[in-house]
Amino acid sequence: MRQDMNISVLSYSFRGLFSQGKMDVFGYLETCKYRYNLDAVDIWSGFLPSLGEDYLKKVRFAIDERNLVLADLCVDGAHIWEDDADLRERNYQNAISYLKSAEVLGAKFVRIDAGGREQAWSEEQFDVIVKRYREYAQCAQDRGFKVGIENHWGPETKWENLKKVYEAVDHPGFGVSCHIGGWHGTPDEIAEADRNVAPWVSHTHIDWGICQSSLTEKLTNLWNSNYQGYYSIEHHSAVDEYTEVAVQLAQVRDVLTRLRLEGSGRIA
């Protein structure tokens, strides 16, 4: 079944309010449900001050109490590759903790970055990244969700690199969180990457720039690929976030409504 209006907002969009002590994860859930009338949320790990089971159960209760879906747990600080072996091990332990937390929270998808500071991975780096993603994908599948890479930073922002990882991992528990338009390359290369990745996408992040420029084109790519995941707003300004996020939500809703009506033949 096509998911026409699966929309969420990444909690990172409110990091300005968060940093000022004006919003926590519970206020974020309330905002999504009652300010924006959403049915799903997308929690950035920075909004979780603890991964203790008692705390996570409180968050899960708050999610369920509002009849929300946790579309994504967006994790920082658990990327796979670091040159320093001790940092790699630290991040590995962080990743395992977040995967366990995702089960408690009821997440549908978990974003974990590949890591690496250069333009491409060495053979050693690539092998470690693929090995870990396979491990994480099996862990996720066993617990009823998916884990995946995002074109977020480092080599994973190049289409050919992300494609190589996805094809090498080759696991049903592995997917892609697409930061739409967030590729490195020429405008034509970026547009092509967004088209090519669409069939693999499990989750999305849609920033202000895309909403103000090529939103219809980008969402059409996903629509034509029968995308089943959530369209998640990501806002970066840290200023007037309630209003700015509302603008992006309205724009995404408008495009999805038009795509739905065009598909039903009810709009020219």
> Which helix (H) or strand (E) is 233 found in, with range?
strand 231-233
Q: In this model, does residue 179 exceed pLDDT 90? A: yes
pLDDT at site 262: 87
Q: In this model, does residue 181 exceed pLDDT 80? A: yes
Q: How many CB atoms lie within 10 A of CB 243?
A: 8
Q: Per the domain annotation, does 26 fall within a domain?
A: yes
Q: Per the domain annotation, does 235 fall within a domain?
A: yes
pLDDT at site 267: 44
Indicate the pTM of the whole model: 0.94
Residue numbers of the domain that contains 189: 7-263
pLDDT at site 4: 52
How far apart (Å, rounded) are the C-alpha atoms in residues 72 and 142? 17
Q: Per the domain annotation, does 53 fall within a domain?
A: yes
222-251: average pLDDT? 97
pLDDT at site 264: 52
247-257: average pLDDT? 97
How far apart (Å, rounded) are the C-alpha atoms in residues 28 and 30? 5
3-state secondary structure of 146: strand
Q: Per the domain annotation, does 108 fall within a domain?
A: yes
Q: In this model, does residue 191 exceed pLDDT 90? A: yes
User: pLDDT tens digit string along 127-153?
Assistant: 999 999 999 999 999 999 999 999 999
- Percentage of residues of the chain with pLDDT beyond 90: 94
Q: Per the domain annotation, does 24 fall within a domain?
A: yes
User: pLDDT tens digit string along 15-63?
Assistant: 999 999 999 999 999 999 999 999 999 999 999 999 999 999 999 999 9
Residue type, 144: G
Q: Per the domain annotation, does 268 fall within a domain?
A: no
Look up the CATH number of the domain holding residue 227. Answer: 3.20.20.150
Query: Integer distance in angstroms from the first to the last C-alpha of the chain?
Result: 24
Q: Per the domain annotation, does 1 fall within a domain?
A: no
Q: In this model, does residue 112 exceed pLDDT 80? A: yes
194-221: average pLDDT? 98
Confidence band, pLDDT 50/70/90 cuts, at residue 266: very low
Q: In this model, does residue 2 exceed pLDDT 80? A: no
Q: Per the domain annotation, does 178 fall within a domain?
A: yes
What is the number of structural domains in the chain? 1
211-218: average pLDDT? 97
How far apart (Å, rounded) are the C-alpha atoms in residues 143 and 238? 34
**Rounded to the nearest 5°, which phi and psi values hold at 4?**
-75, -40
Confidence band, pLDDT 50/70/90 cuts, at residue 265: very low
pLDDT at site 263: 77
Confidence band, pLDDT 50/70/90 cuts, at residue 208: very high
pLDDT at site 73: 99
DSSP 10: B
Rounded (5°) CA angle 224-229-233: 100
